[in-house]
Structure 1
């Protein structure tokens, strides 16, 4: 009871009183939806972009991958900046920049302009997103925190899956030549409406430490050496995945061990920085908590599997079966509906069931994906969108029981003062997983499609089986956590 009272007083001190917390969360989720939507909505707009500004294949690849690259680059430093200074100020900065760069992307007159705008848009999204998990940690406790993370999980799942549908609707409404511009312009009214609400509703910064000692400590809190090393390691690790189609030489994979070396140097730097009394960018002690370390690994593996499904499904439907952008988007809707509904429920019950709920959700995802592969095997015609509806719905329901409960459990023991950077690490793992999964599943998909004269159904089935394998690895991690918890309880008794 005393801990709950202290948490409530802290929430009130930070300006997040009960009657304002849920509207403040709605503001956070709306902004988060915009940034995550822009990862998937552009997929169906690529043919329109190519028509509209005569973009090259390399340019189109950078429109997709450039956003993901810069998004992942700034997540952890931005999360730490919010922890140290003001989450509200960092959130507002990211939201304003995202709105402005969306307008810049929509007004692009050539390929270079659009790619540059997308790089800046990714930076803006990466600044904004880690503040959301930080605000949830700051504003909510106990079961309410689970509900809030459930709504965030629903936002992640729906934004990823509904992107192709919304993109298809916009292109259908505004035409193939100019429709792609509205994929970016759609963010403008949302961003302009949310900015003043965010300024009014979100809690301000906590009280600063006084005195010269407090001021001196805050100077070193952002750990610039750690920022540079983590940024370099993240970029080098992501590059061969996001450029997998454009860089044909296998030498690109040498960047992966180089990235791991840079990240190892980062770990050494962080330990040395902490020993000298500094505040490290990432508290490595968090990884000694089983819930956090295994939760981050599970998230990486799961996002590698589930994000790639939308990539290969859109390609199969549009290129293989000549679906329109709108028809392809509608075919993904069963997953989006299932994921959104189950995520909200999962957030409410995660404190009762814990990690077994995540394992159960992963089992549903695996069954649903196998059912999707079977449906495509049995029906290779234009009615395949109907044939895959039920198994995609099942996979979506399972996904909703994975994303938000896993996020709640992973961040459950993280101190509020570290919520932004810890959430940034988790989201960086999701972005790395997404990039690696799309590269791996896409490679399997294209190898099958190209090997037998455009075998689109065979390529899709093989890609889905690869995604299923990644989901099975995530399930193994969940089971390790469950068994480890039981063994720990047995040892304690």
Structure 2
């Protein structure tokens, strides 16, 4: 077994109920995987599908810039704040039950968003949507961990990574298609309403194929860590709100005070969780998970790759729509090569030669650094970049896939089944925070650079984009160095 092939649960304990050691002779694990990944895809789609509808929402609802920012960010804020809580609820109440409940809440909130009559309603229902996702999504990794073993688990995690890749670009494309089609004169509303029939179908299928919860599981008796939940929710809120709204408000004093307070609360949270574990309690995030070999490095890598991915998509979208004048649909289609390559690599890297496996992660980050810098260079003259742009896009897709998918697989390879909820919630939260940080940091760099250069013409926008691509390349390089340092140790 290579270092990238996840180990299964403790053999002495035997297979867990519903686990199939030979998925080739039993279609139930495949149906389970299809259902949970469909729900994952729908929730991820909703993060990006709204972006291209924002101008239409603003004109039809007469929304201010800050209100539109909250329409986009409200989902992500609730999602990031409640993810780890959602993971623990699955541990407490059963992963099947909580997954379906979160899916139902997400679907109902999508309907409410599509019928909203004002920005206040839309912002509120977007928060509810994010809460539904936060309850639903952590169960995906937990169900994979508990129902797949060995090579089957590695394949399932590869499919999970591919869904994460394609969901982002698919959201941009589908959003452009729905807004451009203006179905029944509904304008922006179909970007939310499309979730309703899909969510209902997944609910019906999920109630049939997801394994019954084991009510006798000993970990289910652990009490919910309410003080830890409050500390973590407050810390994440204080971190994400200024990251999302700081640029819109020109980084006022309250945003910096909020970030400082978030640092203090994160420290208090860690101290409280450690003390609770020493006293024999059940902390929200078990310290043994954080101390597990490779988890700390995985957190850094996933944070870095998600920040690069989100910053790349966000700043490039601003350039090609604002600077080059692309339509929403054409802008979404521009990202298709990156998503397709990411998905293909995420599904196939485990079958590459064993001698390559140890070098995949650092090489992936290095390729990402070179490729994003190349994107900035080929677009620096304010034109469409020609064939070289799509070659660079493919390099970004390959590099991000190699930075993310093997990292996730290795991080979860030896996590014990009873820690699956904690590990899944932690890594999902890191994924979301990485995206928020990427949009905030690199989006701020792009907008500030654009403002200093003057009007958003194609050339000045390209100059601002080049500065961002260089910063993204530097971030990816840090990921490559972290991999090399880990190998030497």
Common fold by TM > 0.5: yes
1:6 Cα shift?
5.0
Pick from 146, 150, 175: which aligns with 1:167? 175
Q: Does 1:330 align with 2:328?
A: no
Q: Which runs of structure 2 are paired with 1:200-349 in the superposition (5 Å)? A: 200-208=208-216, 220-251=222-253, 252-348=255-351
Pick from 477, 480, 483: which aligns with 2:485? 480
Distance 2:189 2:94 in 1: 33
Q: Is this contact kept in 2: 1:286–1:293, CA < 8 A?
A: no
SS at match of 1:180: coil
Distance 2:225 2:360 in 1: 37
Deviations 1:30-66, CA, capped at 9 Å, x for gaps: 1001111111111111111112212111110001111
For the aligned residue pairs, the C-alpha RMSD in angstroms reads 2.4
SS at match of 2:250: coil
Distance 2:126 2:386 in 1: 31
Q: Does 1:115 align with 2:118?
A: no
Q: Is this contact kept in 2: 1:105–1:184, CA < 8 A?
A: yes
Inter-CA distance 246–176: structure 2 relative to 1 (3 Å threshold) = farther
SS at match of 1:342: helix
Q: Does 1:194 align with 2:194?
A: no
Q: Which runs of structure 2 are paired with 1:31-110 in the superposition (5 Å)? A: 31-110=39-118
Q: Does 1:368 align with 2:374?
A: no
1:348 Cα shift?
4.9
Distance 2:147 2:467 in 1: 44
1:408 Cα shift?
0.8
Distance 1:316 1:468 in 2: 18
Deviations 1:80-137, CA, capped at 9 Å, x for gaps: 1112330000100110111111111111111101111111101111111111111111
Distance 1:11 1:462 in 2: 53
Q: Which runs of structure 2 are paired with 1:123-134 in the superposition (5 Å)? A: 123-134=131-142
Deviations 1:144-199, CA, capped at 9 Å, x for gaps: 21111111101001111221111111111116973311111111121111101111
Pick from 9, 15, 36: which aligns with 2:15? 9
Q: Is the deviation greater in 239-248 or in 153-162? A: 239-248
Q: Is this contact kept in 2: 1:41–1:164, CA < 8 A?
A: yes
Inter-CA distance 407–280: structure 2 relative to 1 (3 Å threshold) = same
Q: Is this contact kept in 1: 2:71–2:122, CA < 8 A?
A: yes
Q: Is this contact kept in 2: 1:14–1:206, CA < 8 A?
A: no
1:12 Cα shift?
3.4
Partner residue in 1 for 2:465: 460
Q: Is the deviation greater in 393-402 or in 310-319? A: 393-402
Structure 1, gaps ≥5 residues long: 485-493
Give the paired residue count: 476
1:482 Cα shift?
1.8
Distance 2:132 2:80 in 1: 11
Inter-CA distance 444–411: structure 2 relative to 1 (3 Å threshold) = same
Structure 2, gaps ≥5 residues long: 1-6
Q: Does 1:446 align with 2:450?
A: no
Q: Is this contact kept in 2: 1:79–1:421, CA < 8 A?
A: yes
Q: Is this contact kept in 2: 1:72–1:431, CA < 8 A?
A: yes
Inter-CA distance 327–129: structure 2 relative to 1 (3 Å threshold) = same
Q: Is this contact kept in 1: 2:368–2:400, CA < 8 A?
A: yes
Inter-CA distance 380–269: structure 2 relative to 1 (3 Å threshold) = same
Q: Is this contact kept in 2: 1:51–1:176, CA < 8 A?
A: no
Inter-CA distance 82–302: structure 2 relative to 1 (3 Å threshold) = same
Partner residue in 2 for 1:469: 474
SS at match of 2:379: helix
1:15 Cα shift?
12
SS at match of 1:12: coil
Distance 1:350 1:208 in 2: 43
Normalized against structure 1, the TM-score is what? 0.91
1:390 Cα shift?
1.6
Distance 2:354 2:16 in 1: 22
Partner residue in 1 for 2:424: 423
Partner residue in 2 for 1:358: 361
Pick from 153, 161, 168: which aligns with 2:161? 153
Q: Is the deviation greater in 182-191 or in 398-407? A: 398-407
SS at match of 2:314: helix
Pick from 24, 28, 43: which aligns with 1:20? 28
1:27 Cα shift?
0.5
SS at match of 2:56: helix
Q: Is this contact kept in 2: 1:80–1:421, CA < 8 A?
A: yes
Distance 2:8 2:41 in 1: 36
Q: Is this contact kept in 2: 1:76–1:428, CA < 8 A?
A: yes
Inter-CA distance 122–159: structure 2 relative to 1 (3 Å threshold) = same
Normalized against structure 2, the TM-score is what? 0.92
